[in-house]
A and B are shown apart, each in its own frame.
Chain A
Amino acid sequence: MEMIDRYIYAVTQKLPLSQREDIAEELRSLIEDMLEERVQGEDVTDNDVVEVLMELGDPRQLAQKYKGTKNYLIGPELFDSYMLVLKIVLISTAIAISITFIIKTIINPVTILDHFVELIVAFVTALPAAFGWTTFGFAISDHFGEINAKDLEIGTEWKPSDLAPIPDEKRQIKYYEPIVSITFYTLLIIMFVFSNEYLGVWIFQDGFSDVVPFLNNETYTTSLLFIILIMGIGITKECLKLIYGKWTSKLVTYIAIVNVISTIAVLFMINGNAFWNPDFLLELTQAGVITENSDGYRTVSMIWNQSTLWILVLLVVGLIWELIDGLIKANKK
């Protein structure tokens, strides 16, 4: 009878969440009715099940019939995740822009009008952009998902023995995990784009006076491109997790490729003096935070000089951990 469960799962997992349970129950009672008629009071054999499922046909086609014809950009199986991601992206963008405005106003209240204009401009440009990119990403996944489904149909007769087992709970990816990560990446991008000049050590002398930036202002435009690229790769990775919904060896392979690419990009960006502010220690001393040749100076200078290495080590360890974790979950029986 496990084959029936697999069949029902194969049909319903392609359908919107809200209808799944009802359709599953109705299908089950249909299959039982069909079996009953076939065996006429005898015991049901596996062969009977196979024949009944053959009569019902390819679960993908049945799911397609439940969905109706495709006249949408983002299909019902992705729509729930799309709406969720869209809300989160829009809300986090709006919050980040507002926080930027508040910080700028606190730091420099005289030019509040300028900050306000920036706020309006940011809202008008960033929100539609966030909306557009999210929609674009999901439309692309939907499109390629459809093509894959069609490729598989050509020339292959569907058999009940093709039915994949229902994935174990432990292999499933909780949908909120990728969503939390996507939010985090979005916030980081916005932080880097809109408030790079405040990314550093804040100096307070009679209130706020200056920032000693971590990053090199002269090369910031190039660095920003890299940062957006790396975050974009990260978002793509999380979207893959969201679409697959469970750990499979295929997903782990994709993530491995994506992780290698992002590590290379990070290495390329961070490795070199152009990324970090070359005068960081000098500026800190000038601002009076540390005095040269003191213990404090040596500690700060040690941390500053080794930070590149440690950031890389942490990053690589994190990415490898993600892969091992995925690999373990994908192979769980």
Chain B
Amino acid sequence: MKDANEYLDKLLQELRRGTITISVLSQLSEPQYGYWLVTMLEEKGIHVEPGTLYPLLRRLEKQGLLESKWDTEEARPRKYYLLSETGKEVYKLLIVEWQQIVESMSNVIDIKGGKMDGDD
């Protein structure tokens, strides 16, 4: 049998994939560049690899949820990302969905947890 941690890693990876998208959208009502997002999310307890975040930003831009602009005024040119109009709308809907998921999930987990406790 596989190690429990192995399963956990795989499942966590799947679970995180969606939440990272929401986290990214949540931070982009103001234009920001990629590495600022990495540090900002890290501070808030969400760990994202730059190697995951940068391709994700690009994909979201391609899907039309984000807009981007190069800022060449500063010493180092950086690409800034910002929610598009569609992105804002999608983000609003996503929060509502997310809250529902959290609610339903806590219901589900509570029942199961209770049963397991009983079995012990």
Interface of A toward B, CB cutoff 8 Å = 19, 22-23, 25-27, 29-30, 32-34, 37, 55-57, 61-62, 65-66, 68
Contacts and interface: CB of A to CB of B under 8 A. Distances in A.
Nearest to A32: B76
A65 B76 contact: no
12 contacts: A25-B70, A29-B33, A29-B77, A29-B78, A33-B35, A33-B76, A34-B35, A37-B35, A55-B50, A56-B50, A66-B58, A68-B59
Interface of B: 33-35, 39, 49-52, 54-55, 58-59, 70, 76-79
B79 A29 contact: yes
Given A32-B76, A68-B59, A27 B54 contact: yes
A147 to B, nearest CB: 23
For the complex, would chain A's binding face be called helix, strand, loop or mixed by DSSP majority? helix
For the complex, would chain B's binding face be called helix, strand, loop or mixed by DSSP majority? helix
A26 B51 contact: no
Nearest to B53: A30
Given A34-B35, A57-B49, 15 more contacts: A19-B58, A25-B77, A26-B34, A26-B54, A26-B79, A27-B54, A29-B33, A29-B77, A29-B78, A30-B54, A32-B76, A33-B76, A55-B50, A62-B55, A68-B59
B98 to A, nearest CB: 24
B35 A30 contact: yes
A30 B50 contact: yes
Given A29-B33, A30-B35, A34-B35, A57 B79 contact: no
Contacts of B70: 25
Contacts of B51: 56-57, 61-62, 65
Contacts of A19: 58
Nearest to A25: B77
Nearest to B57: A26
A152 B50 CA distance: 23
Nearest to A33: B35
Nearest to A52: B50
Nearest to A68: B59
A23 B79 CA distance: 10
Nearest to B59: A68
A22 B34 CA distance: 14
Q: Count chain B CB atoms within 10 A of each CB in A22, A27, A33, A61 and give the residue with the most.
A: A33
Contacts of B58: 19, 23, 66
A73 B59 CA distance: 21
B51 to A, nearest CB: 5
A34 B34 CA distance: 11
Contacts of A34: 35, 50
Q: Count chain A CB atoms within 10 A of each CB in B49, B51, B78 and give the residue with the most.
A: B51
